Amino acid sequence: MPRGSRVLIAVSCALLVLVAPGTAQPQVQARDRTVAGTRLHYLEAGPNGAPAVVLLHGARYSAQTWLDLGTITRLAERGHHVIALDLPGYGRSEASDVARDRYLAVALDELLPKEKLVIVSPSMSGSFSLPFVARHADRVSGFVPVAPVGIDTYVGELRRVQVPTLAVWGELDTVVPVAQAEVLASALQGRTIILEGANHACYLDRPDEFHAALLKFLSELRWS
């Protein structure tokens, strides 16, 4: 698909995940780690050393959202090492004195030192992920921004890097306008998918379509 292309995913799109009878689902572990002197809580699944996917969250949500939605399990079943963070001051993580534009670099140096990874970043978490992608692009195998905040703040820095990017938006988003999808995808020379009939938290409104697009994107990446 050409870079910068935009695709409207209709409600009729569906993802079928077939699990053989008796197949055990990946085990999800709840963990705590001290990062810069404060507790970071996260959920983890999948084999260590496998391609890593880091799941962030919006202001009303937490790592638990990805577990409830089935995202952690789906990714782990495909062989990914999945880490879903409670960002500082959210969920079970303590607030941190580390600035948002630096926090993700500090945390990932602790959790996944020197590993290349994919970041999935909805809404509020853009204030953590966008500066990380702009300043540490060498560590990012792929980026899946989901209507993140902070685009206008970091778009200048993002234009200086190239990271495989799939920007995902809800067609009816009134929080971060759909027009921002093209701004972000263009800056990173990525592509955009708009989920038909979905609102700001489009992955909750259209989980099957979201997971189908995410898994396809991951399957196309070069992880080394």
Q: Find, among 182, 143, 181, 179, the residue nearest to 161 by Cα.
A: 143
Phi-psi region of 127 (alpha: psi -120 to 50; beta: other; left: phi over 0): alpha
Active site residue 173: yes
Q: Find, among 17, 2, 76, the residue nearest to 207 by Cα.
A: 17
CA gap 55, 210 in Å, rounded:
14
Active site residue 123: yes
Catalytic residue among 96, 127, 129, 173: 173
Which run of H or E residues covers position 149? none
Catalytic residue among 41, 57, 80, 200: 200
Tokens of 35: 């990062």
Catalytic residue among 62, 96, 123, 186: 123
The CA distances from residue 14 to 5, 7, 120, 157, in Å, are: 21, 15, 20, 36
Active site residue 93: no
Query: Which residues are catalytic, by number?
Result: 123, 173, 200
